Amino acid sequence: MTAYAALSRHFGRIAAMSNAIGILQWDSDAMMPAGAAGTRAESMALLRVLQHEMAVDPRVGEWLGEAEQDNGLGEWERANLREIRRSWTVETALPADLVEASSKAISACEMAWRQARANADFKALIPFLTKVLKLQREAGAAKGEKLGLSVYDALLNDYEPGGRALRIDALFDELAAFLPGFTEEALAAQARRPQPAPLEGPFPIEAQRQLALKIMAALGYDFERGRLDVSAHPFCGGADNDVRITTRYDDADFSKALMGVIHETGHALYEQGRPAAYMDQPVGHARAMSVHESQSLIMEMQACRSREFLAFAAPVMRAAFAADGPGWQADALWRRYTRVERGFIRVDADEVTYPAHVILRYRLEKALITEAMPLGELPAAWNAGMQELLGITPPNDRLGCLQDIHWPSGGWGYFPTYTLGAMTAAQLFDAATRAEPDILPGIARGDFAPLVGWLRSNIHSQGSRFTTDDLLTRATGRPLDAGVFKAHLARRYLGAE
């Protein structure tokens, strides 16, 4: 067996372990009874330690050294070695006891977060989140020492390989300066348009679910390799060829669940479209979380809030709820789904105000990781940031700093990828519609095959073959350009009234 073959086999086994962890994590978030939390935490911690031990196996370094000298490897194999080298460097920075302690702390914190969020009681979460934060700092310091990065950049690198806070600071400062004025312009333009007639509920949960399933099918979701369920926070998870998504329902507003489903379906399409031949190898993984977020936002924001989509979806929605009236017409629904409104909840935010939510979280998590701000000051800092960026102050912590599971689940460094993803989505959708003229007419027919086909070819099937910048440049002809995102917002929200 060659060194490369040995590496491929070894990382295939690591992928199998990751798949088992993924299903257990999905079950913890969607199905597990609360009484099982302690036992599940022990199981998850053991599996993560075993996975870590496999990843840092001394033979990996030996195989890498030998395989990197093999001149007979092809482009995909070379890219796989690059990704293995990157992940091995990170994994070998972490001692097993830190991995185990972090896993247990996260499991406990996630359960505490659910209760604290329900009670709007941040103080109850502080002991659990303090431990998670401490361990995240330790992990970031260990990785940073090995990679030559700051603690925050080392954590960011887990989600956005090659990403740096310095670049994000510049992008986000530019957006933070642009968005408040643009939001005012968009609200003023919106006020000059006729307001859509209200949609009268309640909207039965089962009817919402059936509507979601129909839209998922139209988007191209493969139900033979996934399922739809319910959780406190919508997510896409599971395993290779078992890509599961969740949503949450509100019988007073069906759009929250529907748009959540569309968003997570975008993630799932990426996972279902990864290169089959390398599905269990690092090179077959999704490129970066900004790219992953771009896939969800292409569906949720770019495609499914377009006039073309609403022309197709309006009669489907009317049929789902046996409804009719002026509020159910395509133009009224378009005005509803492109409505700009300052709100407290990130996952319910429109695409104009959404970046402000992300900028706030990015700034706060950097301050917490670098110890520039004590954890106990988070609620007050959150509220002050919301007032500065959006002009509103949450009335309680459930609508404020307790709304997201990311920090309790150890996702420090994740938040900036959402807005990087929105910018990437605008650039990819712009390039796709220029390259494939049938994309928008297809969406108007409920046929997403032209769009998904372009994404399959240019993004999904490429896995991690290229760096993020190279992938985007190959697909669109240029690196990430915030101007494309701004132009999209201007066309949609300041266009013809």
CA distance 12 to 5: 10
Parent domain of 124: 3-158
Alpha carbon dihedral 134, 50, 56, 94, in 10-degree steps, equals: 10
**pLDDT per residue rounded down to tens, the chain (497 residues):** 899 999 999 999 999 999 999 999 999 999 999 999 999 999 998 999 899 999 999 999 999 999 999 999 999 999 999 999 999 999 899 898 999 999 999 999 999 999 999 999 999 999 999 999 999 999 999 999 999 999 999 999 999 999 999 999 999 998 999 998 999 999 999 999 889 999 988 999 999 999 999 999 999 999 999 999 999 888 999 999 999 999 999 999 999 999 999 999 999 999 999 999 999 999 999 999 999 999 999 999 999 999 999 999 999 999 999 999 999 999 999 999 999 999 999 988 999 999 999 999 999 999 999 999 999 999 999 999 999 999 999 999 999 999 999 999 999 999 999 999 999 999 999 999 999 999 999 999 999 999 999 999 999 999 999 999 999 999 999 999 889 999 999 999 998 54
- Asked whether 53 and 61 are in contact (CB, 8 A), the reply is no
The distance from CA 73 to its chain's CA centroid, rounded to whole angstroms, is 33
Nearest 5°: phi and psi at 453? Answer: -60, -40
Which residues, listed in sequence order, are joined to residue 238 by a DSSP beta bridge?
243
Same domain, 134 and 92: yes
Q: How many CB atoms lie within 10 A of CB 173?
A: 11
Number of domains the chain is built from: 2
Q: Residue 131 corresponds to which tokens in the numbers above? A: 């431990």
Domain boundary among 123, 158, 193: 158
Same domain, 47 and 148: yes
Q: Number of H helices and number of E strands within the chain? A: 20, 3
CA distance 31 to 76: 38
Same domain, 44 and 183: no
- Asked whether 466 and 472 are in contact (CB, 8 A), the reply is no
- Asked whether 179 and 309 are in contact (CB, 8 A), the reply is no
CA distance 468 to 428: 13
User: What SS3 state is found at 75?
Assistant: helix
Same domain, 190 and 288: yes
Same domain, 124 and 253: no
Amino acid at 416: P
Same domain, 327 and 232: yes
Domain boundary among 105, 125, 158: 158
Residues 6+ apart with CB under 8 A from 348: 256
Nearest 5°: phi and psi at 236? Answer: -115, 125
CA distance 404 to 117: 9
Domain boundary among 158, 190, 220: 158
Give the CA distances from residue 152 to residues 130, 133, 289, 359, in Å, rounded to whole numbers and listed in that order.
Answer: 17, 12, 16, 15
Same domain, 171 and 153: no
Nearest 5°: phi and psi at 432? Answer: -65, -45
Q: Is the peptide bond before 202 cis (omega within 30 degrees of 0)?
A: yes
Same domain, 102 and 241: no
Q: Residue 439 is part of a domain; what is its CATH number?
A: 1.10.1370.30
Q: Helices 151-159 & 165-191, crossing angle to 10 degrees?
A: 60
Same domain, 125 and 195: no
Same domain, 200 and 101: no
Same domain, 135 and 211: no
Same domain, 47 and 70: yes
**Tokens 């993004």 -> residue:** 459
CA distance 465 to 80: 7
388 is catalytic: no
Q: Are strands 242-247 and 228-230 parallel, antiparallel or unpaired?
A: parallel
Which of 77, 264, 308, 365 is flagged as catalytic? 264
User: What SS3 state is found at 468?
Assistant: helix
Among candidate residues 21, 122, 20, 129, the one with its CA nearest the CA of residue 409: 129
Q: Return the ∠ at Cα 83 (arms to 484 and 166), rounded to 5°.
A: 45
